[in-house]
Amino acid sequence: MLIRAIPSNVTYEFAEDVRAGLNVPGQKELPSKYLYDDVGSALFEVISHLPQYGLTRADERLLRRHASDIVDRVSGPVAVTELGSGSGKKTRWLLEAFCRRQRTSYYPIEISHSALVMCKRELSDIDAISIVGLEREYLDGLLEVAAYRKRDQRLFVLFLGSTIGNFDRAAGVKFLSAVRSILEPGDSLLLGTDLEKPSWQLLQAYDDELGVTAAFNLNLLGRINRQLGADFDLAQFAHVARLNHEARSVEMHLRSKRRQVVSIPAAEVVVEFQPDETIWTESSHKYSAGEIFQLAQQTGFRCEVQWIDQQWPFAENLLVAE
């Protein structure tokens, strides 16, 4: 597979975001996209196998069960692109269905290089597929794919795994509108959304007893140590999963166990933590099935079909650009 790597200075942007997020008076915060370096992507892969975390398996069950139905609703020649492909495992069923119909190009867009390599390994055995991986941010990658599109081709965009949930609701609307502005009427977006569920179930899903989610979260500090030369003592921070009822989200934080001072040379900051002060590292918003229809309408799409998993409430939504 071809992988087009990022031309820009990634470490510089990381340093800037770390400085901006930690060098503030109120709630310290780090963007959740930085959880996914090579170690973080591998840890998320393990999370997706945990019995307490049913999200990824529900997503995959729906895609497998309804692959031909989904593909039948997208007519003509298509270019398939995926925002954040990860290992690419759950995309197999859709790609096989498309490739049975005709030769299909697949453009995974992913900021993790190792995930792109895994994705190629996972999917290149499919007949009549051509894979071009783009090591890019979502919208940059999507613009590039849109530029490759042939005259008669439709774009079929996958945004699976409820990654949309990492945006707060307003930012989610903004993001989907931006995606829509790159598409043509008749193009489609398959959007995976995790649905609301009981508090105990959410807390177990984001704070598993094995500590994999804790490791996934703490790795963000490890990454700052590795890439920016910081001296975080990981033993002095604890993983916290917290419900935000108002936002209808689960938040992950890293709680400082004591007063401590950390220096981050490449970001040119020294950061002080009070006892129990937290760094907010991720939000996972949960949706009601009905609100997706509204979300689609607000962002220039129409939600044509919704498939819901019964075992782990999760919805696969087919949005068509109007």
**For binding to ligand AVJ (CB under 6 A), which residues are involved?**
47, 55, 161-163, 165-166, 206, 213, 252, 282, 284
Please state the closest distance from residue 206 (CB atom) to ligand AVJ, in A: 5
User: Judged by CB, which is closer to ligand AVJ: 213, or 299?
Assistant: 213
User: Judged by CB, which is closer to ligand AVJ: 96, or 194?
Assistant: 194
* Burial annotation 205-228 (CB, 10 A radius, 16+ → b, else e): bbbbeeebbbbbbbbbbbbbbebb
Local structure of 281: helix, strand or coil: strand
Is 32 within 8 Å of 281 (Cβ atoms)?
A: yes
User: Judged by CB, which is closer to ligand AVJ: 307, or 314?
Assistant: 314
Please state the closest distance from residue 253 (CB atom) to ligand AVJ, in A: 12
Q: Which amino acid is at 108?
A: P
Please state the closest distance from residue 250 (CB atom) to ligand AVJ, in A: 8
Please state the closest distance from residue 222 (CB atom) to ligand AVJ, in A: 16
Paired strand residues for 244: 249
User: Judged by CB, which is closer to ligand AVJ: 86, or 133?
Assistant: 86
Is 144 within 8 Å of 62 (Cβ atoms)?
A: no
Question: Which of 245, 190, 187, 237 is closest to 217 using CA atoms?
Answer: 237
Please state the closest distance from residue 48 (CB atom) to ligand AVJ, in A: 8
Please state the closest distance from residue 165 (CB atom) to ligand AVJ, in A: 5
**In the bound complex, which residue of the shown chain has the CB atom lying closest to ligand AVJ?**
284
Q: Which are the contacts of 25, defined by CB distance < 8 A and separation ≥ 6? A: none
Question: Which pairing describes strands 237-244 and 249-256: parallel, antiparallel, or unpaired?
Answer: antiparallel
Alpha-carbon distance 293 to 306, whole Å? Answer: 9
User: Judged by CB, which is closer to ligand AVJ: 81, or 162?
Assistant: 162
User: Judged by CB, which is closer to ligand AVJ: 81, or 284?
Assistant: 284
Structure tokens given for 307 = 């498939």
